[in-house]
Amino acid sequence: MGAKTFEEIGGPAARRHLFLCTGPDCCSTADGLKTWEHLKASLKQCPEPMLRTKAACLRMCHDGPWLVVYPEGVWYAQVTPERFDRIRREHLEGGVPVAEWVQAVNRLDQ
């Protein structure tokens, strides 16, 4: 697999960037990778293009997998495939974060 350009990964069209910590410190690697694989497949259903990045650590070494959604800067803990489905529908597609799962909000552009 060769290196891709920013254009090839969909950068210019993306409106959000999702970072998912897949462990092993915040959760088991198996649980993190299960959520990651589900996230990748699920984003193909979204009408709006989004970037995604798998991270080995977001420095929150408990309650993972952690998902951070930018540009909103919304941090979600304990993201399972089932939880991601709701986050995708309500936050990523509907524009409203799932309030009961939001652990922090930290926009970096303000």
What domains sit in the chain, N to C, each tagged with a CATH number?
A: 17-105 (3.40.30.10)
Helix (H) or strand (E) holding 82: helix 81-87
Tell me the pLDDT tens digit for each residue of 23-39.
Answer: 999 999 999 999 999 99
Tell me the pLDDT tens digit for each residue of 4-21.
Answer: 899 998 888 999 999 999
Q: CA-based angle 89:91:97, to the nearest 5?
A: 135
pLDDT at residue 2, as a whole number:
72
Helix (H) or strand (E) holding 39: helix 29-43
Do 48 and 81 meet the contact criterion of CB atoms below 8 Å apart?
A: no
pLDDT at residue 4, as a whole number:
87
pLDDT at residue 9, as a whole number:
87
pLDDT at residue 1, as a whole number:
61
